Amino acid sequence: MTQSDNTFRRNAPVKKGAESIADMITRNEADRKAAKKKANQKEAAAKSATPSKAPGNTKKKTSKKKTAKQKSNSYTDASRGIRLQKAMAEAGVASRRDCEALIEQGRVMVNGEKVTTLPAWVDPEKDRIEVFGEPINTPKLKATKGRKFYVMLNKPKGVISTNDDPEGRRRVIDLVNIPGNPRLFPVGRLDADSTGLILLTNDGEMANKLTHPRYEIIKQYQVKIKGRLTEEDAARMKKGLFLANQSATSWNAPKSKKASALSVKILGVERDRFRGDRTTIGISLKEGQNREIRRLLAQLGYNVRKLKRVGIGPLRLKGVANGSFRLLTAHEISALKKATHTKK
């Protein structure tokens, strides 16, 4: 049978007067589409009859969510001005690193809102910034606004080199008295048992550069130890030893960190058959860890009797009695700015 005969038989009626198979298929397809259309119309009618949520309530929730989002991110817009820690440092609160710590500790309020995350940007001319509940634009600061102070202090033993001490101990800032009472902060730190040169300033940019490892500002110390330091141990200090990483703030931080002295020089030996020998050493560091010199020498079996800082970069401790201070000379300030690449 030919293809045309087969096609003819498919389209032929089953019985006389009955629909052909092709007509039945066409009709069934039309019925299916009509039923689907009717069902869609019924579903649409049911939806329109169901009462919807009040648009006012929806808007209110959206508004609340939006407000909360704006509140948590109110100081993350870089177009606001400068970074919060920079504004604080320029106002003489502390160095930038210390300002960052104060922010993360929740000690800083901006326009009555506590800011604890970084980065954050502010406009010092418009925003009210408070540290420990005290605004940074106090009359004390206004009296010396625009003037930078650089103070050399010969720190005595037992005085701490931080402006914030919950225990109420004597601080280096308590030993400085300048007309107008500018808010100064110490550059770097010396532990309570150490003595010597501490620089205090309200120049946040210079303070940041003096303490940042990138600028490799050398600190010089005179150390007196019990016993005699051997040349082998001096070489080991210069080569470097691993110390416990006391600055680690996360679980995956390295447990130990290598520390080394830039130079170690034996300055003299005192012989005493009753108290034992004492060795005076000159030590220079580029990047200091917490109590690094004491810990290096302790690892080699030496007990530090005295530790005095005598230099920071081009600055030398001179012309200042123990517990006294003086303003840096113009020549000293210029030398510090040159060493830190700070604009005049």
- Catalogue the active-site residues: 191
C-beta separation of 136 from 91 below 8 A: yes
Q: Are strands 303-312 and 195-201 parallel, antiparallel or unpaired?
A: parallel
Q: DSSP characters for 295-324?
A: HHHHHTT-EEEEEEEEEETTEE--S--TT-
CA 249 to the chain's CA centroid: 12
Cβ neighbours of 258 (radius 10 Å): 12
Both structure tokens of 83 = 């970074």
State the angle between helix axes of 204-211 and 330-340 in degrees (0 to 180), rounded to the nearest 10.
60
User: Is residue 159 classed exposed, middle or buried when 0-12, 13-18 and 19+ CB atoms within 10 A define those classes?
Assistant: buried
The single-letter DSSP state of residue 52 is P
Cβ neighbours of 105 (radius 10 Å): 10
Residue type, 79: S
Which whole-number Å values give the CA distances from 151 to 97, 98, 322, 327, 336, in the listed order? 20, 19, 14, 5, 12
The single-letter DSSP state of residue 214 is G
State the angle between helix axes of 21-49 and 3-11 in degrees (0 to 180), rounded to the nearest 10.
50
Both structure tokens of 163 = 């402006």
Q: Provide the terminal-to-terminal Cα distance of the chain, rounded to the nearest Å.
A: 107
Q: Which residues are within 8 A (CB) of 64 and not within 5 positions of it... i.e. 6 or more apart? A: none
